[in-house]
């Protein structure tokens, strides 16, 4: 039976915590045997988490000196990892995150695209003032 | 982030991470450097193991700033992770990228 390993981190979505949390996620994924020979997949998960956290800090809590709360939940199942970010800031319309026109170099707007590109699933929901992004990555087959 | 000048070329060596924390600083630094007309700039990514969309955006903004002032920018020694993102975003077609620092310097002559 799948009894996932659970991690929960509660903090304010300050950019000060971006790097320590990125490193934590990276090292956690590196501990999963299935990712041992897949460094680019580890890079991808770290990047997806980084982009998701940065979006909450920069956009959901835009203009706030003291950033609002963020809850980070990580579940390590037998065959996949799930990373869930919850915040209470400005919600985001996923419909606006269109595929970027890569023939025009962009200074922004690639974060959500990276998340979709590097994770197997990314679902965003917003209701009752709470925004939830659930990202999932299946373990690579060796 | 370290800045040095060598034979009329400015070299910015970025830190281990080029992310949302340092992207604004890189953009501001390049803006100041680009005030001088026809600035030759190399961004050396040798130490940078991780780059995100903010880092990519800062590099695009830097190139635009320099071109606006008749300058030019080359990128040297990107990590495999950076190369993956450049390929994915097609920025490898926008940036002049060199795996070797000497080649990057010579490209300005």
pLDDT, position B60: 96
Nearest beta carbon to residue A50 from set B52, B58, B94: B52
Beta carbons of A57 and A13 less than 8 angstroms apart? yes
Summarize pLDDT for A4-61 with one digit per residue, the tens. Answer: 999 999 999 999 999 999 999 999 999 999 999 999 999 999 999 999 999 999 999 9
Summarize pLDDT for B95-108 with one digit per residue, the tens. Answer: 999 999 999 999 99
Beta carbons of B84 and A40 less than 8 angstroms apart? yes
What percentage of chain A reaches a pLDDT higher than 70?
98
Domains of chain B: 2-106 (3.30.750.24)
Burial class (CB in 10 A: 0-12, 13-18, 19+), A61: buried
Q: Quickly tell me which residue has 């971006």 as its tokens.
A: A18
- How much is the ipTM here? 0.92
Are A107 and B61 in contact (CB < 8 Å)?
A: yes
pTM over the 0.90 mark: yes
Smallest Cα distance from B83 to chain A, Å: 11
Separation CA A67–CA A111 (nearest Å): 19
Q: Is the dihedral of CA A36, A38, A40, A45 positive or negative?
A: negative
Domains of chain A: 5-138 (3.30.565.10)
Cβ of residue B56 closer than 8 Å to a chain A Cβ = yes
Cβ of residue B38 closer than 8 Å to a chain A Cβ = no
């Amino acid at each position: 039976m799948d009894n996932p390993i659970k991690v929960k981190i509660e903090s304010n979505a300050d950019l000060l915590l971006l790097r320590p949390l990125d490193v934590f996620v990276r090292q956690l994924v590196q501990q999963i045997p299935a990712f041992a020979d897949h460094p680019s997949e580890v890079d991808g998960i770290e990047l997806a988490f980084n982009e998701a956290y940065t979006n909450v800090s920069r956009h959901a809590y835009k203009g706030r000196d003291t950033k609002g709360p963020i809850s980070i939940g990580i579940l390590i199942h037998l065959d996949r990892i799930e990373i869930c970010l919850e915040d209470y800031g400005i919600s985001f319309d996923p419909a606006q995150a269109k595929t970027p026109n890569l023939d025009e170099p962009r200074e922004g707007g690639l974060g959500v695209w990276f998340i979709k590109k590097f994770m197997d699933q990314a679902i965003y929901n917003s209701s009752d003032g709470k925004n939830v992004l659930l990202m999932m990555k299946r373990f690579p087959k060796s | 982030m370290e800045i040095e000048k060598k034979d009329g070329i400015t070299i910015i060596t970025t830190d281990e991470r080029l992310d949302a924390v340092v992207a604004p600083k890189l953009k501001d630094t390049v803006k100041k450097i680009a005030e001088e007309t026809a600035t030759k700039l190399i961004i050396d990514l040798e130490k940078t193991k991780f780059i995100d969309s903010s880092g990519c955006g800062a590099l695009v903004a830097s190139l635009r700033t320099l071109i606006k002032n008749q300058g030019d920018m080359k990128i040297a020694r990107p990590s495999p992770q950076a190369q993956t993102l450049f390929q994915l975003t097609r920025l490898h077609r926008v940036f002049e990228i060199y795996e070797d620092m000497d080649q990057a310097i010579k490209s300005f002559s």
